[in-house]
């Protein structure tokens, strides 16, 4: 099966609009099968073992029929990276037309972070605000910083992965005295076994990212196992990978939170455009155009070899 998919392999590069956690471009491998395109785009520093679920997701996308849908459009959040320029933040926010929720990347500098979140809030005072810390805080730092947000901005919809470990998240929830939801991302996404992680008393919301979790079927199984409300989010994929995330979101019966699937706004170019209308993205609106985006022959071989190595681990 993988040999057939490799015969269709295209590897493309997509520049980002801003520096997003150190990323200024995305290299993306695409393979076409009987059910459409599958995307394999683990970040360049990931080792072969961490890439396994990403490849499983790509193979599933290309070869397995999509599950039944509960909806044909998905409400999205706008994602704001670590920008400090007022005009840049305003321009990016406008690309998320009609979004009622914004997720702001924070964690490295409290003063800059609070200013960034306040600017987002001032531009969209009726919006729900989330912050994403990527596990950068200790429990004490999380307590200090979250009280600061509460005093300056008010209650957050949730904070995503404020600390790195389940034990720290559980301690934070036990100690904090303000209303707070915690969303679990890395502790599930990077776990050797996402089913073995005990989120009791540690998290209120579960982040689902279709590639890192191994595809739609496995993502749904992980969600069912943990029994928490979910948010489907992206891993900064191309529009093809985003479309598969939309397919996952559409297949979840209870979807009460806006999803982080509008990250196409963070790319300077893409294989297609997901139009955002009234804060929602409709499924099935893209027609990928790959011409002019291909990487060099050397980078193509690097990705092909990577896929074959990872495929041998599946």
What are the pLDDT digits (tens) for 204-258? 999 999 999 999 999 999 999 999 999 999 999 999 999 999 999 999 999 999 9
Residues 6 or more apart from 22 whose CB is under 8 A from it?
A: none
* pLDDT higher than 90, residue 95: yes
- Is pLDDT above 80 for 60? yes
Q: What is the pLDDT of residue 24?
A: 87
The answer to whether residues 92 and 80 touch, using CB atoms and an 8 Å cutoff, is: yes
- What per-residue confidence (pLDDT) applies to 22? 75
CB 212 within 8 A of CB 234: no
Residue 285's pLDDT is what? 87
pLDDT digits (tens, 9 = 90+) for 5-58: 999 999 999 999 877 767 789 999 999 999 999 999 999 999 999 999 999 999
- The predicted pLDDT at position 20 comes to 72
Per-residue burial over 137-168, b if 16 or more Cβ lie within 10 Å, else e, is: bebebbbebbeebbeebeebbbbbbbbbebeb
% pLDDT > 90, the chain: 95
**Looking at residues 193-203, what average pLDDT do you find?**
97
pLDDT above 80: residue 170:
yes
Query: How many Å separate Cα 209 from the centre of its chain?
Result: 6
Tokens (6 digits) for 28? 């993306």
105 catalytic, yes or no?
Answer: yes
Q: What is the mean pLDDT of the chain?
A: 96
Q: How many residues are there in the chain?
A: 314
Q: What is the pLDDT of residue 312?
A: 97
Residue 192 CA to chain centroid, in angstroms?
A: 19
Backbone phi, psi, residue 74, to 5°: -120, 130
Q: Which of 100, 103, 105, 280 is catalytic?
A: 105
* Whether residue 143 has pLDDT greater than 90: yes
Distance from the Cα of residue 82 to its chain's centroid: 16
Known catalytic residue at 209: yes
Do 137 and 145 meet the contact criterion of CB atoms below 8 Å apart?
Answer: yes
Task: Return the exposure string of 74-90: e unless at least 16 CB atoms fall within 10 Å of the residue's CB, then b.
Answer: bbbbbbbbbbeeeeebe
Q: Which of 243, 299, 301 is nearest to 270 (CA)?
A: 243
Asked if residue 39 lies in contact with residue 28, where contact means CB atoms within 8 angstroms, the answer is: yes
Q: What pLDDT does 8 receive? A: 97
Give me the catalytic one of 86, 87, 177, 209: 209
Task: Compute the average pLDDT of residues 96-105.
Answer: 97
From the list 12, 6, 4, 18, the residue with the least C-alpha distance to 267 is 18
pLDDT of residue 188: 97
Q: Which of 23, 89, 102, 64 is nearest to 244 (CA)?
A: 64
Mean pLDDT of 84-94: 95
* Surface-to-core class of residue 272, CB atoms within 10 Å of its CB (0-12 exposed, 13-18 middle, 19+ buried): middle
User: Can you tell me the distance from the alpha carbon of 204 to that of 190, in angstroms, rounded to the nearest whole number?
Assistant: 18
pTM assigned to the model:
0.96
Sheet strand arrangement including 205-208: 78-80, 101-105, 128-132, 158-160, 182-184, 205-208, 230-232
Residue 191 clears pLDDT 90, i.e. is over it: yes
């Amino acid at each position: 099966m993988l040999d057939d998919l490799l015969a269709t392999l295209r590897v493309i590069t997509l520049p980002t609009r801003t520096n997003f956690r150190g990323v200024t471009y995305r290299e993306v491998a695409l393979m076409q099968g009987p059910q459409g395109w599958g995307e394999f785009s683990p970040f360049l520093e990931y080792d072969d073992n961490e890439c396994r679920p990403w490849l499983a997701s790509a193979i599933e996308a290309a070869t397995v029929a999509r599950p039944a849908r509960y909806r044909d459009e998905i409400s999205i959040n706008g994602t704001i990276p670590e920008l400090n320029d007022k005009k840049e933040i305003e321009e990016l926010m406008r690309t998320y037309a009609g979004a009622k929720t914004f997720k702001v990347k924070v964690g490295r500098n409290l003063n800059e972070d609070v200013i960034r979140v306040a600017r987002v809030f001032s531009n969209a005072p009726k919006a729900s605000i989330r912050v994403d810390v990527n596990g950068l805080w200790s429990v004490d730092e999380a307590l200090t910083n979250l009280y600061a947000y509460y005093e300056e901005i008010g209650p957050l919809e949730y904070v995503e992965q404020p600390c790195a470990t389940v034990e720290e998240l559980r301690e934070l929830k036990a100690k904090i005295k303000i209303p707070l939801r915690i969303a679990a991302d890395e502790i599930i996404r990077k776990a050797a076994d996402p089913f073995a992680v005990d989120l009791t008393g540690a998290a209120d919301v579960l982040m689902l990212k279709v590639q890192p979790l191994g595809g739609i079927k496995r993502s749904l199984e992980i969600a069912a196992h943990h029994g928490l409300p979910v948010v489907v989010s992206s891993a900064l994929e191309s529009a093809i990978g985003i479309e598969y995330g939309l397919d996952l979101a559409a297949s979840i019966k209870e979807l009460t939170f806006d999803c982080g699937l509008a990250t196409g706004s963070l790319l300077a170019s893409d294989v297609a455009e997901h139009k955002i209308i009234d804060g929602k993205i409709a499924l099935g609106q893209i027609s990928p155009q790959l011409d002019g985006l291909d990487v060099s022959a050397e980078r193509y071989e690097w990705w092909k070899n990577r896929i074959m190595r990872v495929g041998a681990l599946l």
